[in-house]
Structure 1
Amino acid sequence: MTASPAPHWSAHLPPGVEADLGSGGTLPGAWTARWASEPGAQVIATTAGRIVTAAELEQLTAAAAGRYAAAGLAPGDRIIMSAGPSVELVVAYLAALRYGLTVVPANTAYTAVELANLAADAHPVLAVLDDPGRAPDLPVTTPDLAGLPRPQATPLDRVESADPALIVYTSGTTGRPKGAVLSHANLLASAHAVRLAWRWTPEDRLALALPLFHIHGLGVGLHGTLVAGASLLLVPRFEPAAIATAVEDGATMFFGVPTMYHRLATSPHLDGLRPLRLAVSGSAPLPAELHDAVRERTGQRILERYGMTETVMLVSNPYDGPRRPGTVGLPLPGVSVRLAPGEGGVSEIEVTGPNVFGGYLDRPAATAEAFTADGWFRTGDLGVLDDDGYLLIKGRAKELIITGGYNVYPREVEETLRLHPAVGDVAVAGVPSTEWGETVVAYVVPADAVDTATLEDDLTQWCAGLLAPYKRPRVWRWIDMVPRNALGKVLRHELP
């Protein structure tokens, strides 16, 4: 067993600072303390020019919580939320947590059938949706809580740290999604960890263009902003021009996924990132060449980090120390990481810390399988540690290809192929083979209209110079688009 020890936390903490990851007790406790200390501080801004101060946010969320109470909801009830970013959605969400409700975020792309499946598992009493027609069998309101009664006086901010705050369903890249139950303590610990590690202060403004149904936008972007006492600019839809404008208007931080950075890098707006204090990438691997391209043009050293639905944030490249392309860095404050040797000589990443969830909703068998006998969470990701303790993600355990007895990491082959100018996008997977056990197959999106026979020859020669023979694709398939989820992760089970 290889472990990355706690002393690595020092790389993330300013000199003399202790890592108090429970300050505030609960999410609402931490937020309301910030609001009370600076009632006139700006907390939320919109691209349309709306400004919400701390005092206004306290009043708006208290009134919204009173409307939940008047509608008959009680602390501990669950509500689904699925809508685009807006002040109204943020208010509805914060009010739910202040009142003691448990929020079930849902992808805005979910159909009525998908929401019904989610509801059948989570048993919500209300849905807050952009389109009420998406949940015909549930009591529904819109983010402005239209149709709910006038607010009634009700006690707020009485939740305990162990109480559930979110039930976030896994992205479903394999198997049926499971609801990860995250407590206030889990979410608060992670928010404080990134606040400390990324030097997040009240002077910061985050350009938030991530969806608020995913842990990246919600658990890192929104929670982190509020715990830090900072402000955010809600960007309802990611566009390179919108991010450049946000930075020009004073944003100091931007959190994105690799697809966003790719679009910025291929746009005339990449230089707009220059004034940022911090640019963070996550939710999917950031190609090292994209990291270098952004640095060369803007001076920004994108900070890559690693987290999961079940754990929020785990590991990050340091703010002050070297940010190494291709790695996700060092364990965040409170987090411990170890590598557990598995079959075929690979090592699975296991973690523990106050940010790690307690289990899946109504899935005791899945929960038991997810944890080791001594209580560490099995991430399902494969990794290695370099000599300085930086973590490199090699792929998912279930995605590992074993061909002829050798291990092939799809990510390594994909990154090699993406370097070829004729490859627009690519995904690599293993298919059963009677001869090899599995055969390496490359699903390629050509960058331009090309003769695929010629391209196959070119890519075969390309791989011959860069990859060991057993890693080279033996089968080439040409597709129009690589299937991905909302955060850019490849859905290998949907490959043809």
Structure 2
Amino acid sequence: MDRRDAATGEFATIPAVLAERARRDGTRVAVVSPEGQLTYAGLAAAARRVTQAVMARSVRPGERVAIWAPNTPRWVIAALGVLGAGATLVPLGTRLRGPEAAGILARSRCRMLLTVSDFLGNDYPGMLRASGSALPELRTVVFLDESRENRPEELSWARFLDLGEVIPVAEADARSASVAPESISDILFTSGTTGAPKGVPTTHRQTIEAFTHWADAVTLSGDDRYLLVNPFAHTFGYKAGIIACLLRGATMVPVDRFDPERVFGVIERERITVLTGPPTLFHDLLAHDRRADCDLSSLRLAGTGGSSVPTELVERIRRELGAGEVFTGYGLTESTGVATVCPPDTPMVLLAETVGKALPETQIHVVDDAGQPVPVGQPGEIVVRGPNVMHGYLDDPAATATAIDAGGWLHTGDIGTLDADGYLRITDRRTDMFMVGGFNVYPAEIERILRSHPAIGEAAVIGVPDARLGEVGHAFVVPDGIAEIDPAEIIAWARTHLAGYKLPRRLEIVAALPRNASGKVLKRVLRSHVAQP
């Protein structure tokens, strides 16, 4: 059966892309691990075995299958096999606790969970049991590691695959070929930085179109060897990682956790050419002692983003890590993970201070509180419209109506500006803004100024109650070295760089800022810290 989309002639489902990649580039190395490597033909065959096993467990097209595990080759194989069975993938972050994971499994009505019993001391099935949550629709738990089944619903990896042998290969291939471009490929849950995570269903077509444009913009190619350290439970790891590699025929090198020394070793040993991550990942790599001792000459491309990136960081990535090409970008789970890209050939000032221009077919506006576009260069809420924007949150029409207006514009909650050429600058989160004596204060502006001090590596600012002014700024800073920081001196320095109403009234020195798995600072954690007596 021809797996091309009738309207476009393109391969518009993930199983179809995998099949075509195996046909055209079957001998190309797809996945590398310490245990060995898989070609694209081998990856397709391994994924088909998972498809057979999923079918053998009576999972029907459209039903949900979760993966709660670290980045490994088996995660890649399992995910592609689940999608080949026509099921919907629900990735869970490894930092979730039992009740959090149980809540997502229940809300998405998952029939199967693929997981591990030991990662960084976490027993995920044990955490689920300890949560006491009822999950009547969850019928099968499969171990991706070498754990053995101890309960009736549990299956070892080997036994799971063996059960699939009752499904003929032709039947599995027919199931994969029957997946439609508009079928829901996955449901990713938002990070929950501003509240309870919400499920975002995405179609095969949306994912493939968005990350075809993304791969074009960032210059990813089949000759690249891509270190995948961003968690697969997030779009940055799963879609800008696995799916982008699949679309280009690049080699995937999964790493289950970020450790600078380990990452340097993998780059050197595997001749990695592409490395992506939040700015904190690059800060940690640049601060590590072993950097100068490693051969990083293979690196050609580094990607980061989500907000403005200091020019100095871009320069240091190029100079000290040897990645001559750097790109930035911006997106949300609700926009299939990507909305803008600043390609590697963009002038430095734009690369560092903006997140680029809208992807092809995507529109970006900046609007006022009435939803009307503001003049060029003026701040307002960033709204996005295009085929990459979600159709709605999972089983939450009220939240959908709040997020997407009648014109189809996704209201991001982010504050930014657009210049005359369409380059987008992110200046803050609408929900992070606070008011000091009637003046709007955007923390990102203060954070940028604080980070420019040579003794400060990272900074986060929140608004806290004040009897006279309503709210005032409270700053948390991470030192950029071993030298002691005097908060009073920093505030005195900041007084010469900021208007009085923007000046933090208190500054705390901390060892690290609380972040979620995708690198976002958890300001609600900082607020709760300040609220504690």
* TM-score (ref. length: structure 1): 0.89
State the Cα deviation string for residues 378-430 of structure 1 (Å, max 9, x = none): 11111112343211101111111222232222112112212334435331011
Residue matched to 2:507: 476
* Aligned positions, number: 474
Aligned pairs for 1:235-250 within 5 A: 235-248=255-268, 249-250=270-271
Distance in 1, matches of 2:438 and 2:8, equals: 44
C-alpha distance 38-477 of structure 1, shift in aligned 2 (>3 A) = closer
Residue matched to 2:126: 133
Residue of structure 1 aligned with 2:338, choices 313, 327, 336: 313
Residue matched to 1:36: 23
Distance in 1, matches of 2:484 and 2:352, equals: 34
Contact 1:22–1:185 at 8 Å: present in 2 too? no
Residue matched to 1:326: 353
Residue matched to 1:24: 11
State the Cα deviation string for residues 310-362 of structure 1 (Å, max 9, x = none): 11111111233324212111112221111112389741111112211111000
Contact 2:366–2:416 at 8 Å: present in 1 too? yes
Contact 2:69–2:75 at 8 Å: present in 1 too? yes
State the Cα deviation string for residues 84-128 of structure 1 (Å, max 9, x = none): 111111111000111111111111121222111112211111111
C-alpha distance 462-104 of structure 1, shift in aligned 2 (>3 A) = same
C-alpha distance 261-369 of structure 1, shift in aligned 2 (>3 A) = same
C-alpha distance 474-21 of structure 1, shift in aligned 2 (>3 A) = farther
Residue matched to 1:6: none
Residue of structure 1 aligned with 2:218, choices 193, 198, 206: 198
Contact 2:326–2:344 at 8 Å: present in 1 too? no
Contact 2:389–2:410 at 8 Å: present in 1 too? yes
Shift of 1:470: 1.7
- The residue type paired with residue 346 of structure 2 is G
C-alpha distance 450-264 of structure 1, shift in aligned 2 (>3 A) = closer
Query: Matched residue of 1:63: which SS?
Result: helix
Residue of structure 1 aligned with 2:298, choices 270, 275, 278: 275
User: What runs of 5+ residues in structure 2 fail to find an aligned partner?
Assistant: 1-6, 118-124, 130-134, 146-156
Contact 1:40–1:55 at 8 Å: present in 2 too? yes
Distance in 1, matches of 2:212 and 2:245, equals: 10
Contact 1:258–1:285 at 8 Å: present in 2 too? no
Residue matched to 2:190: 170
- The residue type paired with residue 262 of structure 1 is H
Aligned residues: percent identity? 34
Matched, 1:225 2:245: yes
Aligned pairs for 1:299-310 within 5 A: 300-310=324-334
Contact 1:96–1:102 at 8 Å: present in 2 too? yes
Matched, 1:432 2:501: no
State the Cα deviation string for residues 418-476 of structure 1 (Å, max 9, x = none): 23344353310112334323211112345678887xx2221112111211222111233
- The residue type paired with residue 281 of structure 1 is T
Residue matched to 2:58: 72
C-alpha distance 104-299 of structure 1, shift in aligned 2 (>3 A) = closer
Residue matched to 1:16: none
Contact 1:253–1:279 at 8 Å: present in 2 too? yes
Distance in 2, matches of 1:251 and 1:459, equals: 40
Cα-Cα RMSD: 2.4
Aligned pairs for 1:347-358 within 5 A: 347-358=380-391
Distance in 2, matches of 1:375 and 1:489, equals: 27
User: What runs of 5+ residues in structure 1 fail to find an aligned partner?
Assistant: 1-19
Shift of 1:485: 0.7
Residue matched to 2:286: 265
Shift of 1:218: 0.1
* TM-score (ref. length: structure 2): 0.83
Distance in 1, matches of 2:234 and 2:38, equals: 23
Query: Matched residue of 2:256: which SS?
Result: coil
Contact 1:257–1:281 at 8 Å: present in 2 too? yes
My pick for the range that moved more, 266-275 or 52-61, is 266-275
C-alpha distance 203-476 of structure 1, shift in aligned 2 (>3 A) = closer
Residue of structure 2 aligned with 1:52, choices 38, 41, 50: 38
Residue matched to 1:459: 490
Matched, 1:89 2:108: no
Contact 2:307–2:355 at 8 Å: present in 1 too? no
Contact 2:13–2:180 at 8 Å: present in 1 too? yes
Contact 2:308–2:352 at 8 Å: present in 1 too? no
Distance in 1, matches of 2:110 and 2:57, equals: 14
Shift of 1:22: 7.9
Query: Matched residue of 2:27: which SS?
Result: coil
Contact 1:401–1:408 at 8 Å: present in 2 too? yes
Distance in 1, matches of 2:479 and 2:426, equals: 26
Contact 2:326–2:343 at 8 Å: present in 1 too? no
My pick for the range that moved more, 409-418 or 335-344, is 335-344
Shift of 1:269: 1.7
Query: Matched residue of 1:360: which SS?
Result: coil
Shift of 1:284: 5.7
Contact 2:443–2:460 at 8 Å: present in 1 too? yes
Distance in 1, matches of 2:385 and 2:296, equals: 35
- The residue type paired with residue 386 of structure 2 is G
Distance in 2, matches of 1:194 and 1:346, equals: 26
My pick for the range that moved more, 414-423 or 23-32, is 414-423
Distance in 2, matches of 1:299 and 1:184, equals: 32
Contact 1:403–1:436 at 8 Å: present in 2 too? yes
Residue matched to 2:235: 215
